[in-house]
Amino acid sequence: MATYKVTKGTPVAFRDSAYPTTSPSPHEGELFYNGSSGAFQFLGLAAGAWSSGGNLNVGKGYTAMEGDSTAAICIAGYSPGGNLATTESYNGSSWTEVNDLNVARAAIASAGTYAAAIAMGGNPPASGYSVLNEQWNGTNWTEVGDLNVARYAAGGAGTSTAALFITGRNPIANTAVESWNGSSWTEIADINTGRYAIGATGTQTAAIAMGGTAIPPQATGLVNNELWNGNSWTEVGDLNTARYAVGSSSSSSTDALVFGGYVTSPSSVTEAWNGTSWTEVNDLATARNFAAGAGTASDSIVAGNSADTNATEEWSFAHAVKTIDVS
């Protein structure tokens, strides 16, 4: 079979079928001949979009999540019956209830993966702010080293053994940041703008903290975005839409998503970060705030809502295949 086919004097790749549309693709922008359809086609630029995922067993908000759209855990939260200790595990299509946290909490922060995570701080039933930290080994939760400062509605970044706990409320917006080494917490350089209900992603040495609010109880969203380089925080490119109670996802400080949140009502706006600036991309299908996100900027999942929904959505990038008219 020929490797190339010629159109108007120009040889192009001959394929039995179209290029895969999975992003990223080294063939983005290439013209090719599709032997199956008998047409010249073009693999276009990738674009991200949200689609429906499997429903949680328990609808909730003020929750946390780690993993991605194929393997995730959704941790704790709040439902009309009160704070929750429940943990659910996702396999890419459905959720299964697994072992509970030791202490029911809402508005926790988390870090790690679906198989190895930590659940930090939060709002337990008996008190307004918690120092509690629990570690997940893929099967069970174990109480480990407490935070230095009790807080809820903070942001988390990193892994189960090397994490950051960023800002939070106790009782007002906090600037404190703590670093976890797998056994204990150390207070490190404060963030520049005190706030809570933020989004946060990245690693222990390279993280970003976006949005949030500094004015309870009549909260107003912020556009602030700060970058952590392992030593200090620097204010960088602002969000396009000021909001708090956002979801966020990424394992990097240079490539991230922020979605949903509260503006003057729950929001569906999604923005993508390229390391310098934010760009508005395709919206969530359902406006939601106090939801949780996990994954990467190209493969994410969001679950929960302050309205206690059990609906989830998945974000993925795909390339469009376009047929070229060569008549």
Amino acid occupying residue 177: V
**Where do we find the tokens 């086609």?**
41
Distance CA 235, CA 16 (A): 50
**Stretch (H or E) spanning 43:** strand 39-52
89 is written with which tokens? 């595990």
pLDDT of residue 1: 39
288 is written with which tokens? 């939601």
Q: Does the pLDDT at position 230 exceed 90?
A: yes
pLDDT of residue 164: 98
Asked if omega into 216 is within 30° of 0 (cis), the reply is no
The most confident of the ranges 6-10, 108-112, 254-258 is: 108-112
The residues, ordered by sequence, that sit 6+ positions from 189 with a Cβ below 8 Å of its Cβ are: 177, 231, 232, 233
Complete domains list, the chain, with CATH? 4-48+316-324 (no CATH), 54-310 (2.120.10.80)
pLDDT of residue 307: 86
In this predicted model, what pLDDT tens digit does every residue of 254-263 receive, in sequence order?
Answer: 999 999 999 9
| Cα R_g (the chain), whole angstroms | 22
CB 5, CB 33: distance < 8 Å: yes
Write the burial class of residue 211 (CB in 10 Å: 0-12 exposed, 13-18 middle, 19+ buried): buried
What residues are paired with 179 via a beta bridge? 164, 186
- Taking the mean position of all CA atoms in its chain, how far away is CA 97? 21
What residues are paired with 1 via a beta bridge? none
Q: Provide the whole-model pTM.
A: 0.87
pLDDT of residue 126: 67
